[in-house]
Amino acid sequence: MKKTLALAAVTALLGVTSACGSDDNGGSSADGGPEKADLVVWLNGADTPQEARDWLKETFEEENPGSTLTIEEQEWDGLVERMTTALSSEDQTPDVVEVGNTQAPTFTTAGAFSDLTGDLEDLGGDDLLPGFVEAATVEGKTYAVPYYAGSTYVFYRKDLFKKAGVEVPTTMDEFVDVAVQLKKESGKADFSGYWLPGQDWRDGAAFLWDAGGDFAVADGDAWTASLSTPESQEGLATVQQLFTEASGAPADANESDPVTPFCADKVGMMSRPGWVYGMLTDEESGCPDLAKQIGVFALPGSDGEPAPVLLGGSDIAIPAKSPNQDLAREAVSLMLSDDYQGILAEAGLTPAKESLATLLGDDEFAQATIAAASNAKLTPAAANWATVEGTRVLEDLFSQIAQGGDIADLAADADARIDDELN
């Protein structure tokens, strides 16, 4: 017994010391010869299509004989924690990481990524999505480049619209009415005229912003949480109305699985990124028959223009602790090449370069994407924003609003916590 304990102790100890390994910045191989390594690339979730992954691996290995490239798929959920631990150790760090565009500032300001300023011109320069580059730039140095963007638009069921006798809404008020109307028409408690699970603050954000509210505003170097402003509260009231009158999704659920309720015939409209269409029409995981009835439009704002929606998307960066800096740069430039970005565009992801937007095509999906992206917004570019997401302040807030909680109280509470995290 003692022996196994001791063995376990040794293993644990080895784990501990190697996790705290040396902290010199690795460069290319010491002998000056061509660098050969097994490059590890972290991609998150299923967003990157398989075709792109295969292309990246093959092309990279062709152009760098002797080196290999392995793609390790990470889950979005818990990514910040995993990066915090893995990126600080030379032994465990991947060589290239995909990081959510709202999570990037946390790592760029902490010095976790290598400086890419010198490579920007080669990678695309002014053609790169400017908002993404800006958010990854600290004191004039850029630490991450855009990978893809994807703003959400609204999927709706044409057959249910016809049955309820409603048209595609063109203003925010009409949108809310249609959502409520669809639910009434269905007569079912678990049906969603507009599908909005309780923890889904990312889609809820559009209503907050449309009313003129915000999560937090910059005040010099400091940030002030602003969920309690009258505008924010008005937006949150719309969210609460949607939760209580239009959505049938549980107040404690998250948005990770839209396919199940949609295919169970429980959804009239939902805000989702474009690539969800592929999941819905998939023979195995989706419901192609129902999906035939899908139409899409950009969420309309109060002024009739597209509402400001959360601009989702990813950055790519090279961890500063990666010993294979040069090879990693090769991989990054492949991922920003027109060929690779073209594959992403075909899958409905907005390419990292503006000039490639035409690759999205010109069907109604592409038009909805472009319309939604035209007024898309990012979460506050505060260094600590990722910890707000990590500590689930907003999940808590929206879930409590969904339960019918008092908006003024909840917003004041959340403001105090966000102030605490950001400053």
Residues that bind another protein (CB under 8 A): 2-3, 5-6, 9-10, 12-13, 16-17, 23, 77, 80-81, 84-85, 87-88, 106-107, 109-112, 189-190, 198-199, 248-254, 260-261, 320-321, 384, 387, 390-393, 395-396, 399-400, 403, 417, 421
> At its nearest, how many Å lie between another protein and the CB of residue 33?
28
Determine contact, residues 78/70, Cβ cutoff 8 Å: no
Residue 9 or 217 with smaller CB distance to another protein: 9
Residue 344 or 393 with smaller CB distance to another protein: 393
Residue 60 or 107 with smaller CB distance to another protein: 107
Residue 126 or 190 with smaller CB distance to another protein: 190
Residue 21 or 49 with smaller CB distance to another protein: 21
Q: What is the distance between the alpha carbons of residues 166 and 348, in angstroms, rounded to a whole number?
A: 28
> At its nearest, how many Å lie between another protein and the CB of residue 87?
7
Residue 119 or 395 with smaller CB distance to another protein: 395
Determine contact, residues 290/262, Cβ cutoff 8 Å: yes
Determine contact, residues 243/407, Cβ cutoff 8 Å: no
SS3 397: helix
> At its nearest, how many Å lie between another protein and the CB of residue 417?
8
Please report which helix (H) or strand (E) contains residue 291, including its range. Answer: helix 288-291
> At its nearest, how many Å lie between another protein and the CB of residue 275?
23
Determine contact, residues 271/149, Cβ cutoff 8 Å: no
Q: Which residues are registered as beta bridge partners of 97?
A: 42, 317
**CA pseudo-torsion sign 55, 56, 59, 61:** negative
Torsion angle (degrees, nearest 10) of CA 83, 85, 89, 93: -30
Q: Dump strand ranges (E) for 299-349.
A: 311-317
Q: Which residues are registered as beta bridge partners of 296?
A: 155
Determine contact, residues 246/186, Cβ cutoff 8 Å: no
Rg (C-alpha) for the chain, rounded Å, is: 23
Residue 322 or 341 with smaller CB distance to another protein: 322
Q: What is the distance between the alpha carbons of residues 205 and 178, in angstroms, rounded to a whole number?
A: 19
Determine contact, residues 271/299, Cβ cutoff 8 Å: yes
> At its nearest, how many Å lie between another protein and the CB of residue 22?
11
Q: Dump strand ranges (E) for 144-265.
A: 145-151, 153-157, 192-194, 216-219, 222-225
Residue 250 or 342 with smaller CB distance to another protein: 250
Residues 6+ apart with CB under 8 A from 74: 42, 43, 44, 45, 82
Q: Dump strand ranges (E) for 88-160.
A: 96-100, 137-138, 141-142, 145-151, 153-157
The type of residue at 114 is S
Residue 77 or 126 with smaller CB distance to another protein: 77
> At its nearest, how many Å lie between another protein and the CB of residue 387?
5
> At its nearest, how many Å lie between another protein and the CB of residue 261?
8
> At its nearest, how many Å lie between another protein and the CB of residue 250?
4
Residue 30 or 189 with smaller CB distance to another protein: 189
Half-sphere exposure of 127 (CA within 13 A, CB side): 15
Q: What is the distance between the alpha carbons of residues 128 and 116, in angstroms, rounded to a whole number?
A: 13
> At its nearest, how many Å lie between another protein and the CB of residue 188?
10
> At its nearest, how many Å lie between another protein and the CB of residue 118?
20
The type of residue at 228 is S
